[in-house]
Amino acid sequence: MLNLLLKPWIASCQETGNRISDYLDGELQGRSLTRVRRHLARCDRCRAMLDSLHRTLEQLRSLGSPEQVAPEPATVSAVLSQIQHESSPRTRGG
């Protein structure tokens, strides 16, 4: 009976799962935010899902952006050599 009384103020597992990404991104507001927070405070399974998604996002962020990843020096040398070779005038035999 208590669950029926609290239901309007607490999200279900399905609702929480559907909104978990928005929750992590800080996009939930008002009643939706309150409902999801209350559900997470009471549901170990959904809280574990939230923790797992949070860890995954942190791991992805730790990889850095593509702009931060430099190519290997050997790759740079090979590409530059190929460019120089292709752009140098070719001599013809004869």
**pTM surpassing 0.75?**
no
Give CA–CA dist 53/20, Å, rounded: 9
**Which residue ranges of the chain lie beneath pLDDT 50?**
1-5, 94
Count of structural domains within the chain? 1
C-alpha dihedral over 33, 5, 50, 23, to 10 degrees?
-10
The reply to whether 19 falls in a domain is yes
Residue 85: predicted pLDDT: 80
The reply to whether 30 falls in a domain is yes
Residue 27: predicted pLDDT: 95
Residue found by looking up tokens 């009643």 in the block: 31
The reply to whether 55 falls in a domain is yes
**18: three-class secondary structure by DSSP:** helix
The reply to whether 85 falls in a domain is no
The reply to whether 49 falls in a domain is yes
C-alpha dihedral over 5, 9, 14, 17, to 10 degrees?
-150
Domain range spanning residue 19?
A: 7-60
**66: three-class secondary structure by DSSP:** helix
The reply to whether 36 falls in a domain is yes
